Structures are given as C-alpha cells and as structure tokens.
Structure 1
C-alpha cells in the first residue's frame, strides 16, 4: 500500500509538479483553437487524453484528491473548462473535479471556489451528453455533502438557467444515462428545497421557444426511460409525486390545459401494463413496491384534480382491478400472518396497501354502476376482492365502501351480498374490539 501511494504521489508530482507546463499546454490548445474556427470543435491529442484520464482515475483516492487540492488543481481545471472548445477535455476536467468532490474535506474546499460554481451551472446548457453527465454527477455529489449543500442550493436558486437547461435535457434527450442522472438531480433538488420546487413549477415556459413546463418535462423523460431503466422511471415518478405535495403542483396538474391528464394516463398505463402483469403478484410487489408506491400516490393526487380537466375520463377498469389485486394480496398476507408464525412487517408493503386503499376510496366515492359491472364481468371484482375491499375501506373510508356496496348490489347481487356480509362482520368485530381490522393512516413514504 505504501508503494502504491508513493507511486501515485510520484505520478501526481510528475503531473502537477510540472502543472505549469500542463496548464500552458492546455491553454495553448484552447487559445490556438479560439483563434481559428470559433464554431468548430477540437480533438484532444491521445497523449494528453491518456495523461488526464490517469489523473481522473487516481482522483478516486482520498489522498490523491487531497494532493490535487494542494496543487490547486481546481483553479487549473476551472480555467481550462471556461475556455475549452474540446468536449472530451471538458468532460475529463469535470470528471476529475467530480472525483475530488467525493470526500467531505476536499468537497468543502472545492465548493468555496466561486468560479467553479458559476462555470458548473452554466455547463448544464452544454450540448455534449458526456459533459452534461459529469456535470450532473458533480452537482449531485456536492449536494450530498451536508456542509456545502446549502451553498449549492443557494447558487441553483439564483441561476435561473438551471431549470430551463434541465427541462430541455429531460424533454429532448434520448441518452439513458444522462436522463437517469438528471432525474436524480431534479429529484434531489425537489426533496431538499421546496422553494426550488415551487419556483420551477410556477415558472412560465417560453412558448415561442417551444419550452415545456417542468411536469411535462418529467413526463417526457419518464416515457423515454419506461422500457430502458426501471430505476430511472422510479426516480421520475418520485419527482412527480413530490410535485403533488405542494399547492402549486396540484394547481398545475388541475389546470384544464395542464399536464395532469397526460401524467395520469401514463402512470396508470405503467401500473397496469408494466408493474403488475406477472401472475405471481407477491414477487412483483416485492420487486416493484417502491415504484408502485410512488405511482399510486401520484394517481390519487391526480384523481382529485380531474373534475377541473377539460375532458374528464372515468378511471380505467384495469387500473381499479390492479388496485383490488394489491389489496387482496395484502388481505391474504394479513390472514396468513395471523394464523401462522409472526413475520417481520414490511413497512413499504404496508405503505403500499395504505396508498392503494386511499386511491380506491377516492375512486369508489363516485364510481358508476357501469364501471362496477365491467369490473365484475372482466373478473376484477369477485367475492374475494370484494372482501379485500371491505377490509381496506372499513372503517376509515366507510362512505366510499357504502357507495361501492350499493352500486355493486345493483350490478351483481350475489357479489354484493358477499361484500355486505364482509362489511357487517367487520363492523361487528370492530364494535366488539376483536376484529383484525387494518388501521389505515397516512404515512410518509418519501
């Protein structure tokens, strides 16, 4: 290990000990090109690229990152980035800074560089995907360090181009890696700073330039990642879910010309066609519980907005059926745990069942007889799922259950009687204090 550190230090001193030579070379490269074709791009010579990539790799070591700081590498790299017209050179320089920022001490020192703060945020408007990827990574790294997080949030609040640049990437890029990283960045910003989320959701896009609002941009990115990256899709669903936690977000989704209906249709389709298609629902729920949790929360918020949309559409039968299946699985699992060995509770599955019950309650308050008849005819609403619905909706959502029961009795008396029996049994047990009725309370699941 000592030999390795000695080798690294020698390599670094070879590089940074003569950093004036390297800096001169880099500046000459930039200046030479700047004096030529100002619209073109220059290539990084193989030798220089190899040397820089070695430093990039070595900067992953804490001691190396400290040495780079001691040799004022940040100033050198920021100076090169600000004048570079070579995408590969810019990418590598930002990547080196990203590795230096991985450690609290070096990140704290690096973050105090005002020039870096300005240059980095402006780089989000760059056209080179690898550079954008490394820039987003560096920003995420800095935001993850609690000592400098507030400093970077302040810079982002002050630099209005950040929103428009990230929205452009989300709405137009097809680069999976870049969309994933930008999604993580937006999700992190929304999670850390509600003021940023409010200002971004209320910002008016420039229609003349074809800009989209932030919710529509999140939707476009989610569509792009739907089949390519389940993890990326979950990130964007969480970002959309965060928007539903503020009044400004709900107002945007409820607007007649807003993105609410499009988001609802997309999320509902993802739930039915992507997340809950497998026959073995218990396996699916374990694998997809986090994504489903975000999806159900978004759908519930949007369901409450739909009266203000231009064209109100009934909640799809397959979506209601999927919610019933999730609740039936929870009901079956609850009975098994009561009759067998007690297992450790899965808090995420519990939260998923709560979210499903709340969504079903909102749907059932005004559910139409035709919709219930379709649910019965297509096999979604059976005696078993009816009992599961009764367990989930009683007692917290009694009004919703009573309306569902009344409409179901008209659509299919046999299934309706079974649901009525289940509801009566649960009410009697609750009155006697012995029924294993699930208590549904809203829980934070962020």
Structure 2
C-alpha cells in the first residue's frame, strides 16, 4: 500500500515499526529463527537512505544501544552492528553517532568480544565512520581520532591481527588500517598512531595466517588476497615516512624482509602498487636486511621497466594501464643507490657477478647518475 511505503521504496513503515518494537522487547522475547530472519531483512533494507532516515526518526541508535548492552546473543549483536554500519553510509547518521557517547562506548566495548562475526561488522562500521576523516578533513574533532590518541583502538587491532584465524576479519582490519594510516590532516600523520611493535608483530602474524599456502609459482589465490596484500604493504609503507616507523620496521627487519622477498619474486608481469610499496619497504630496512636473490630480481624488474619505456616510445602497447612504471622505477633506483652506499662491497660485487651483464651495466648507470645528481646538488648549495 503506497501510503504505508517508506519514502520512494516499497518497504512498509508498519513492518519496520513492528520489527523495532520487537527489538525493544527483546529481553522478554525468546529469539527464534523467524525473528532472526526479520532482522536480516531489516539489515538488507538499510542500504536504502529513505529507510535509514525513517529508522533514525524512530531513534534506532538508542534502541540498538540498549539491545547490545542487554543481549547475550552474538548473532543478534552482529546484525545490529551490521545495521548501524549500513546506516553510517549516510552522513547525517555519522554525525548523530558522533554525538552519542554511550552508543560509541557500547560499540567500542565490543572490540573485546571473541566473536569474529561481530568484529567483522564492527570493523566495517569503524571504516564507514572514518569516511569523514578521509574526505572532510575540516570536519572538526572526530571521536575516532580520540580513540587513536588513547591507543585503545590500536591495542585491540594489534590483538586481532596477532590472534585471529578469520580471513574476512583480517581483510577488514587491513583495509581499515590502510585507510587510517594514509591520513595526514593538519600536519598530523595518522600512521604514527599505529607504528608500534605490537602492530608490526600483528601484521607479520596476519600475513602468515592469510598466505601460509601461497607459492611463488602463482600469484595470490584470490582478488581478496591480492587486495589484502596491497593493504598490508601500504600500512607498513606509511611507517617509512617518520623515524619511529622506520625504527620499528628495522626492529622486525629479518621477518619482514623474508616476506618482502617473497612478494618481489612473484611472476614477472606483476607490476602493481604492491610491488611499488614492497621496493620502498626493502629500501627502508636495507641496513638490517639484504637478500641477494631479491636484489637480482629487482634488477631484472628494472631492466623490464626500461624495455617497457622503449616500447611505449615506439608506439607499442603495454599491459600496465595504471602507468605505475615511473613510480616503480624511481623506487627501484632509490633502492639501488642505497644498496651501493650501505651494503658491504664484497657482498655486493659477489652478487653482481651472478647477474646478467645488462642488468649490471644498468645498475652502475643508476648509481653513477644518482651520484652526479648529489654532487651537482652539493655544488649548488
């Protein structure tokens, strides 16, 4: 009936109100499959902005807060948190949530739950609320930023990374970290909140969990794994921008370096953001970790990059639509220059002796060009 429809949707106001009423009486009501199905339908409905506005009109956040506080049924809590997460895609809901201290505290308390399904929805909700930090830096003080400041969120995230075996949860946490660590607002680098030994330990453990069965002969087993690996390196790469971050990376240089070496040795056509980040990370830990095979592979990649440049100059098509070659080339050349100045020359010369002659010539060309640039810069000063 049109008069009962919510906004421009076909959903019934009466049905939603009835579902909300059942939620308010949840303590008195035995939870059954039918009621769970109704809540799942309500969850699906909250992708519609009109439904979200209707539920906010009837104070859903207060209802949800009381349900989470009183219920011991983790499936119900998972659904409620998922509903709030959907609703937070609407800006006005995020603004209202930021004013609801009790609701925020109730949600954050769920970080201590061992239930992976609840945590998945909670992390997705946190990612939705981070939207304003990413896209509206002048939004004003944000409750999520306060959580970064007091390290509570960082500690819980580190624990999840170190202990969870749930791939979906780890995917979500890595995406949240990648988003927040990329933030730089009012000269405040948000990656500083997360560049701790606990987080790096957790990142190493999460990699072992997600990629234990990954072999170098193949690329990652799924798009989700590729995305997670990219987020993983982006988080660590954000730490290279400050002293404390580089220090903690070097603290775990051996473990991280072994992982970076595996990423570098993927199939030769994998020229992507993951590779760019990994080369940057290898340069960051070069004082504590150098792998000869990885170095050879980097030179091989650099040689391929120069060939791509030549083909592009002659009008031949290339596979990389993202045009990452210049960025990757710059990262590799910086890495090569630092190898020359930091790595023991006996080790370096022995490694170069095993390389393709063209690769060696290219390496020394880069090192010499970089040295000329340094000399010219010093003369200019």
**Structure 2 residue 309 is matched with structure 1 residue 334:** yes
- C-alpha separation in 2, matches of 1:390 and 1:220: 37
Alpha-carbon distance, 1:103 to partner = 1.7
**Structure 2 residue 69 is matched with structure 1 residue 82:** yes
Give the count of matched residue pairs. Answer: 353
Give CA deviations for 1:364-395 in whole Å, capped at 9, x if unaligned.
Answer: 22443354334433xxx222213332443341
Give CA deviations for 1:46-100 in whole Å, capped at 9, x if unaligned.
Answer: 1110111111000011111111111111110111112221110100000111111
- Specify whether residues 195 and 352 from structure 1 end up closer, same or farther in structure 2 by C-alpha distance, changes over 3 A only: closer
**Structure 2 residue 212 is matched with structure 1 residue 219:** no
Query: For 1:396, what is the secondary structure of its paired residue?
Result: helix
1:386 aligns to what?
360
Check the 8 A contact 2:155/2:198 in 1, yes or no.
Answer: no
Alpha-carbon distance, 1:18 to partner = 6.9
Structure with higher Rg: it is: 1
1:440 aligns to what?
none
Q: 1:359 aligns with which of 332, 335, 353?
A: 335
Q: 1:47 aligns with which of 21, 31, 34?
A: 34
- C-alpha separation in 1, matches of 2:238 and 2:13: 44
Alpha-carbon distance, 1:110 to partner = 3.1
**Structure 2 residue 299 is matched with structure 1 residue 324:** yes
Check the 8 A contact 1:143/1:149 in 2, yes or no.
Answer: no
**Structure 2 residue 90 is matched with structure 1 residue 103:** yes
Q: 2:80 aligns with which of 93, 111, 115?
A: 93
- C-alpha separation in 2, matches of 1:341 and 1:263: 38
Give CA deviations for 1:194-219 in whole Å, capped at 9, x if unaligned.
Answer: 565334435xxxxxxxxx62111112
Structure 2 matches for 1:24-35, cutoff 5 A?
Answer: 24-29=24-29
- Specify whether residues 14 and 149 from structure 1 end up closer, same or farther in structure 2 by C-alpha distance, changes over 3 A only: farther
- C-alpha separation in 2, matches of 1:136 and 1:149: 22
Structure 2 matches for 1:121-160, cutoff 5 A?
Answer: 121-145=108-132, 146=135, 150-160=141-151
- C-alpha separation in 1, matches of 2:12 and 2:140: 32
Q: 2:230 aligns with which of 213, 227, 234?
A: 234
Give CA deviations for 1:102-155 in whole Å, capped at 9, x if unaligned.
Answer: 122233223322222111222111111010000000110111134568413333
Check the 8 A contact 2:182/2:190 in 1, yes or no.
Answer: no
Structure 2 matches for 1:28-427, cutoff 5 A?
Answer: 28-29=28-29, 44-145=31-132, 146=135, 150-192=141-183, 194=188, 196-201=190-195, 213-226=198-211, 227=214, 229-254=225-250, 258-272=251-265, 275=266, 278=267, 281=268, 283-285=269-271, 289-304=272-287, 306=288, 315-340=290-315, 347-365=323-341, 366-377=343-354, 381-397=355-371
Alpha-carbon RMSD across the aligned residues, in angstroms, is 2.9
- C-alpha separation in 2, matches of 1:56 and 1:159: 32
- C-alpha separation in 1, matches of 2:282 and 2:239: 12
Check the 8 A contact 2:302/2:332 in 1, yes or no.
Answer: yes
Check the 8 A contact 1:167/1:217 in 2, yes or no.
Answer: yes
Q: Structure 2 regions of 5+ residues with no counterpart?
A: 215-220, 375-381
- C-alpha separation in 1, matches of 2:36 and 2:8: 20
1:39 aligns to what?
none
- C-alpha separation in 2, matches of 1:284 and 1:245: 25
Q: Structure 1 regions of 5+ residues with no counterpart?
A: 30-42, 203-211, 307-312, 401-446
Query: For 1:395, what is the secondary structure of its paired residue?
Result: helix
Alignment TM-score, normalising by the size of structure 2: 0.83
Check the 8 A contact 1:121/1:156 in 2, yes or no.
Answer: no
2:377 aligns to what?
none
Alpha-carbon distance, 1:160 to partner = 3.4
Give CA deviations for 1:15-38 in whole Å, capped at 9, x if unaligned.
Answer: 32573x413421325xxxxxxxxx
